[in-house]
Structure formats: C-alpha cells, structure tokens
Amino acid sequence: MKKFFNINIIILAVFSLFVWLPLAMIAGGSFMSGDEFQESLSPVFEEGDSENMAKWNIIPKYPTLRPYVEVLIDSPGFFVMFWNTCKIVFPVLAGQLLICVPAAWGFARYDFRFKNTLLLLYMVLMLMPFQVTMVSNYLVLDRLKLINTHMGIILPAVFSTFPVFIMYSFFRSVPISMIEAAEIDGAGELEIFIYIGLPMGAPGIVSIIVLGFMEYWSIIEPPLIFLKDKSLWPLSLFMPDIASGSGGLYLAASVLMIIPSMLVFLFGKKYLEKGIRAAGLKE
C-alpha cells in the first residue's frame, strides 16, 4: 500500500511539472534582455535558419529588470487598462452577488410554475458560448446605447447563469429540517435566507467570486467587440496591443497580469475545496 502511494506521488509530481513548467518559462523569460530573447528564439522568427534549434533558459544568462521598467514606467497605458479592468471586474462580482445569489435561493427554496423550464433554460444559456449570443447581445446593447461603455460589458455579465447554477446546487443541500426549525422559531423568509442560506452557501459564494474574478480579469472577446475606444480597454487587451518584437515586454506584462489571479486563487483555494465537499451535503 505504501509503495502504491509513493507511485501516485511520483505520477502527480510529473504532471505538476508539466503544469508549472510553462509558468516558470514565462517568469524566467520576463527577465531576459532583448538580445538574449532574440538569440533564443531566432530559429523560430528568422527564415532559412532551420539548422539551429530554438532554446529557452528558465534562468536567464543576463537577467534584467528592463522589461518591467518598460511596462510599469514607460507604458502608462498599462495602468489605464489595469484600472479599466478593476472597473469591470468588481462591479460584475458585486452585481452577481446581489442578483444571482437570491435568484439561486428562490429556485432552490420555492416551487412555482415553469420552474423546471426556467432551470432548463438556464442550463442551455450556460452551455452557449459567447459567439452564439454575440450578435443578439450587440443588438440589445446598441438599442440601450451601451456600446463603447463599460456598462455594456458589466450588465450581461451580472446576469450570467453560471453563478446561479453553482449557488442552486449549494442551496439545494441546505437541510429542510433546519429551515423548518427556523420557521417554527418564528423566523421570516428574509431571516432564513440571511442567517441560514448565506452561511450554508458561503463556500459557494466564495467559489463564484474566485471563478468570476479569474474569468473576467482575463476577458477578451466582449471588450474587443463592444468597446471601440482603446482608452476603455481592459488589461486583457494590453498584450495583443504590444508591438511585435517586444517579447520581454509581452512576458513581463503576462506575469503582472497573472499575479492577481494567482493571489485570488490561492486565497480562495480552501474555500473551493470546502465548496466541493459542501455540495455533497445531504439531509
């Protein structure tokens, strides 16, 4: 049994290496000078140099902070896009908590006409990729005069069906006996929701915050289509706007963009694990 356990650890360690190796290459490459970057990848970019193989040093030979200086000091647009991202992500998360969490409680707590039909519709909308609803979203936002505004990105995301699906699963696991006991003690519907539903669904709430942050922090397609003015673009569109040949700048911007998502994930990791266990709670 112990030998089998050791084999599992080795296998997991190998797969973890494959996951972390690209991140290590990005982090190391962000400290490369332009000459070293060009030398490492010259067989890829230069025609007729097929005899040599491209190489990559995880630890640069001559590390430099120049790429980070270019991003943080010489590129003021980086901070503008960073602030634009914050103005999109945080209102989206706040709106989802205010709208999707009570909606999920209503689906889980009450029986009403066409409930199953609405749930099925939610599932269908959740499975649809953005490309399917892109035209209809554009027409609606254009009619509401929200094209080329941050609200045109925020409003559709606030009414996303995915957070409702997650919280519905959590609220369905709340024991009925606990709700009935609260009703016998004279608790109203709002009190049950606040003092029983929200604490029991706390792992799910943290889960949708973490998953929502990682999704909308790196959102690309909606702002690329709905935002015409580059001054409104989020940080996710900063890297595609970097001129070709600026490999170090691109990698440095990638590292700076990944850091907030990693911090949020590491903070919410234990809550995600609790959420998975809580989803299996039975009465």
Q: pTM score > 0.85 for this model? A: no
Structural domains of the chain, ranges and CATH numbers in brackets: 2-64 (no CATH), 79-281 (1.10.3720.10)
d(CA 82, CA 197): 35
pLDDT at site 281: 46
The residue among 259, 246, 264 whose CA lies nearest residue 206 is: 264
User: Which tokens in the block code for residue 84?
Assistant: 């634009």
d(CA 146, CA 138): 9
Maximum alpha-carbon separation in the chain? 81
| Residues contacting residue 57 through CB under 8 Å, at least 6 positions apart | 28, 32, 36, 40
pLDDT at site 181: 85
Backbone torsion region of residue 86, taken as left when φ is above 0, otherwise alpha when ψ lies between -120 and 50, otherwise beta: alpha
d(CA 221, CA 135): 12
Helix (H, G, I), strand (E, B) or coil at 157: helix
Question: CA angle at residue 167 from 165 to 170, to 5 degrees?
Answer: 115
Helix (H, G, I), strand (E, B) or coil at 229: coil
pLDDT at site 98: 93
Beta strand ranges found along the chain (DSSP E): none
d(CA 268, CA 263): 9
pLDDT at site 282: 42
d(CA 170, CA 206): 12
pLDDT at site 119: 82
pLDDT tens-digit profile, the chain (283 residues): 555 557 777 787 788 888 888 888 888 878 887 777 777 766 665 655 555 666 777 778 778 888 888 888 877 788 888 899 999 999 999 999 999 899 889 888 888 888 888 888 877 877 888 888 888 888 999 899 999 999 999 998 998 888 888 888 788 878 888 888 888 888 888 888 888 888 888 888 888 898 889 889 988 888 988 998 888 889 888 776 655 556 677 788 888 888 898 888 888 877 776 655 555 444 4
The residue among 213, 205, 209, 206 whose CA lies nearest residue 89 is: 213
Residue with tokens 């009619």: 143
Please give the DSSP secondary-structure letter assigned to residue 193: I
User: Which tokens in the block code for residue 52?
Assistant: 């040599």
